[in-house]
Chains A and B, each alone.
Chain A
Amino acid sequence: MATTLKISAASLAALFAVLGDAGRRILGPAEVDGRIELKAVRTLAEVAGDQIQPVLSAKETAFPRVERLLSYRMAPGKVELQDYDPEVQPTVLFGLRPCEAAGFNSLDAVFNWDTRDKFFNARREQLTVVGLSCTQADDACFCTSVGGGPGSTKGSDILLTPLPEGGYLAEILTERGEALKDLAPALFQPANGEDKEAMLAKVEPSFEHQGLAAKLPGLFTSDIWAEQSLRCIGCGACAFVCPTCVCFDIQEEADTKQGQRLRCWDSCGLRQFTLHASGHNPRSAQSERWRQRIYHKFGYFAERFGGPMCVGCGKCSRACPVDMNLKEHLTQVYEV
């Protein structure tokens, strides 16, 4: 289905107006008080140019930090249950980096694995991902070690790649991408053998993820996890900024008459992660929770879904207060 077109910067700016008129909300990386955040924008000019990516991932658009699942009210002899449908709005995620775009593939897999998650899918179905290839990378990036790359099309409905002569190559990758293009087909032109690679950032692979996955079963009792996690302070920053971390916790906010059930992000960094009602925790030490983080992402998930639950965006490494650089740790494990 993929077709490769071109779009000029002026036409891309015009596309924003078309999307707005078509009732699409546009979220893109933009500057707020000196920080880059994913926020609602109306024009291309509002989108921040010279930046790697926002701190938080776009997963929140499909898997928010707090999702209300149901509420209830108790009356004598009965319980009134109230279901909810999330409030959704057709949304274009503009300018997601290829790593973040690929993150949606992991989320899709988990939230549709044995049951189709109603909340996630209702939100997800309204999203069109317009990825933007990277022309720069930093020390935290390692997309090329986990099957992605600065120009990878995974997870994008349309992928834009900047061209040296100005404008963008526009790869229309899915039906959703096609539908978006069809809102203003005249803004796109046929491509003419442009070199997609010309402006792409160079990201040297640091390890090889299949090899890493193959190593893990033999390292479960290794000292490496305790050694690596010594400086980990056990917060939730890494998991919460991660575009693929899906662990959640169900919270009940209730009094004796009524309540609501909420789904909240959880993190393997936190001490209460997998704490049983009995008081027992199979992962009571920080090192065991750090090992779980690595095994879940690069072992268990890979076994079940055929690839790692990590897109190499480096958000966790940038967010970590104590510089637990994931690329560095994984490379060390790979080289054991």
Chain B
Amino acid sequence: MEALRTKAKELLAQGEVQVVIGYEAGTAGVRRPCFVRTAESAIRLVWDTNCIGNLAGYLTRPEIKRFGKPAIVANNAVLRSLLQLVAERQLQQDAVLALAVAQDGVVTELPTAQAVEDYLAISPGGLSAADREKMEHLAQLSREERWTFWQRELERCIKCYACRSSCPMCYCGHCTMDCNRPQWVSVPSHALGNLEYHTVRAMHLAGRCVQCGECGRACPVGIPIHLLTCYAEESVHRQFGQQAGTRAKLDYALGAFRPDDKESFIR
């Protein structure tokens, strides 16, 4: 943790970055996002095993972009998000300085997307063991059983959009959910409205979800909604052989055309 604070202090003092996006101590042991803008306040930064949230969503928020060049304290989920954001042209290759912190507190500076790629090639990270188990359980269910599972879960959804707001890949300035001229998706959080929202979101994250689990963590009513987006992501991985958050150059599987596509209908 000291190494991180020292590094942040140094970067800010030398003007190499204008803001360090990191974690600070919150309520009752929680680690929450903080935005350090002066060398003196680098002391606020915390790093430990509770720093599990994905901070990458802030990289595309106007309030944070305004500060200037950011460094970001990065767990693997942040790094995967960073690559995917570069792949989707939401960030320049070298617009962000990632500070990867190892278990022992050693800080590695990753100034470019290439550096992030190399770092992730060694330890990619991914779904937690618990989530992996849940995914496997869901995969074993029959279609009908899965349908019942999701109906039961989505019944509780209050459409607070915390899942969308917390997702690093839900950066659209004007989300389809908010369009009302015309209205594409039913707004109320009744059964149909909830189903439409989550189906559209999962489809839009297929091939783009970096499997950080942030949306599920954000959900106030405990819906494991990340399992749906991760399911869609893994389906794309299986069928197209490419995975979001692994490369800085990645075509959108569901939106790119290749002359050598194995499906004949598209040629």
Interface residues of A (CB under 8 A from B): 35, 55-56, 65-66, 138-140, 226, 229-231, 233-237, 239-241, 249, 251, 253, 262, 264-265, 267, 270-272, 285-287, 317, 319, 321-323, 325, 328
CB-based contact A321/B189 at 8 Å: no
Q: Does B165 contact A (CB under 8 A)?
A: yes
* Contact indicator per residue, chain B 155-182, by CB within 8 Å of chain A (1) or not (0): 0001111101110000000000010000
Within 8 Å by CB of A231, from B34, B186, B193, B222, lies B34
CB-based contact B63/A230 at 8 Å: yes
Q: Does B27 contact A (CB under 8 A)?
A: yes
Q: A138-B28, A322-B32, A328-B27 are in contact. List 9 more A-B contacts (CB 8 A).
A: A66-B189, A233-B166, A234-B165, A235-B164, A239-B160, A241-B220, A264-B189, A321-B165, A325-B26
Chain B residue nearest in CB terms to A271: B178
Chain B residue nearest in CB terms to A324: B32
| A residues less than 8 Å from B58 (CB atoms) | 231
CB-based contact A272/B178 at 8 Å: yes
CB-based contact A235/B30 at 8 Å: no
CB-based contact B217/A55 at 8 Å: no
CB distance from A68 to the nearest CB of B (A): 9
Q: Top 8 nearest A-B pairs by Cβ distance?
A: A321-B218, A319-B220, A236-B160, A235-B162, A323-B26, A323-B32, A235-B165, A233-B165
Q: Does B204 contact A (CB under 8 A)?
A: no
A55-B221, A230-B63 given; A240·B160 CB < 8 A: yes
A55-B221, A230-B35, A241-B220 given; A66·B188 CB < 8 A: yes
**Count of A-B contacts judged by CB separation below 8 Å:** 97
CB-based contact B27/A139 at 8 Å: yes
CB-based contact A287/B63 at 8 Å: yes
Cross-chain pairs A/B with CB under 8 angstroms, 7 sampled: A236-B160, A237-B160, A240-B160, A264-B188, A265-B158, A287-B63, A321-B217
CB-based contact A251/B188 at 8 Å: yes
CB-based contact B178/A66 at 8 Å: no
Q: Does B57 contact A (CB under 8 A)?
A: yes
CB-based contact A235/B27 at 8 Å: no
Within 8 Å by CB of A233, from B34, B162, B187, B188, lies B162
CB-based contact A317/B158 at 8 Å: no
Chain A residue nearest in CB terms to B190: A66
| B residues less than 8 Å from A237 (CB atoms) | 160, 162, 218, 220
| B residues less than 8 Å from A285 (CB atoms) | 63
Chain B residue nearest in CB terms to A251: B187
Which of A249, A271, A286, A328 gathers the greatest number of chain B CB atoms within 10 Å? A271
Which of A230, A271, A328 gathers the greatest number of chain B CB atoms within 10 Å? A230
CB-based contact B188/A240 at 8 Å: no
Within 8 Å by CB of B218, from A66, A139, A235, lies A235
